[in-house]
Each structure stands twice: as C-alpha cells, then as structure tokens.
C-alpha cells in the first residue's frame, strides 16, 4: 500500500502543475468526465488482458487502472485512506451480505 499512498501524494502534488508537463494536470484540465472515461478505458483493457491470460499485460493494465482511479478519486475529494477505511469496514462480511445490506434505490 505504500506505493499507492506515494502515488496518491504525487497525483495531489501535480494537479496544479503545467498541463504541458504533467499528465495529471492535463487530465484535470479536461475535467472529471474525461478522467472517468480514461478509467473506463483502462478497466476494459484490464479485462481484455485477463481474458487473454496475458499476465504481463494484466499487470501493466492494472497499474494504469489504479493510477486513473486515484486521479479520479483525488478530483472527487475522496482519499485512498477513505477507500481503505471502507474496505476495512467490509472486512469479514460476505460480499453477498454486504450488498444485501445496502439501501435499496427506487
């Protein structure tokens, strides 16, 4: 988790950088919808690599997916610590039970 925490700090530090020299800043200028689009693209590429059994490809795509997720979380004001706290809250609870306990949407 240390590498993810370091990456989160790097992303936060680069959000206000020059978009000509920082990919994070370039994404921020393009807006949250573009960040979400990139996250979706990386998710699809991750799935494809997994289905193809491409371990190296899956590793790289998973790294891209985590990076873009952290960019989107930072833009949304959600910290990695908050996500980890939610995972901790769910620990030991069956995924089926956890999902069933969520409030129902109308």
Backbone angles phi, psi at 89, to 5 degrees: -60, -35
pLDDT of residue 101: 80
Structure tokens at 94: 């069956």
Look at residue 100 in the predicted model and tell me its pLDDT. Answer: 79
Written as one string, the DSSP assignment of 53-104 is: T-HHHHHHHHHHHHHHHHHHHHHHT--HHHHHHHHHHHTTS-HHHHHHHSPP
pTM, two decimal places: 0.86
* pLDDT tens string 7-57: 999 999 999 999 999 999 999 999 999 999 999 999 999 999 999 999 999
For 68-105, how does the pLDDT look when each residue is reduced to its tens digit (9 = 90+)? 999 999 999 999 999 999 999 988 877 787 677 878 77
The reported pLDDT for the residue numbered 1 is: 65
CA angle centred on 77, ends 72 and 79, rounded to 5°: 85
Q: For residues 16 and 9, give the distance between their C-alpha atoms in angstroms, rounded to a whole number.
A: 13
DSSP 17: S
In the prediction, which pLDDT does 88 show? 93
Q: Which CATH class is domain 2-95?
A: mainly alpha
Burial of 46 from C-beta contacts in 10 A (0-12 / 13-18 / 19+)? buried
Extents of the domains making up the chain: 2-95
């Amino acid at each position: 988790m240390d590498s993810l925490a370091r990456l989160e700090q790097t992303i936060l530090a680069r959000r206000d950088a020059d978009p000509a020299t920082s990919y994070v800043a370039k994404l921020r200028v393009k807006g949250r919808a573009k960040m979400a689009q990139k996250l979706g693209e990386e998710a699809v590429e991750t799935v494809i690599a997994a289905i193809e059994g491409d371990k190296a490809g899956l590793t790289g795509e998973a790294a891209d997916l985590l990076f873009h997720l952290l960019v989107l979380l930072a833009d949304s004001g959600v910290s990695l610590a908050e996500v980890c706290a939610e995972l901790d809250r769910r620990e030991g609870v069956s995924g089926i039970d956890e999902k069933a306990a969520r409030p129902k949407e109308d």
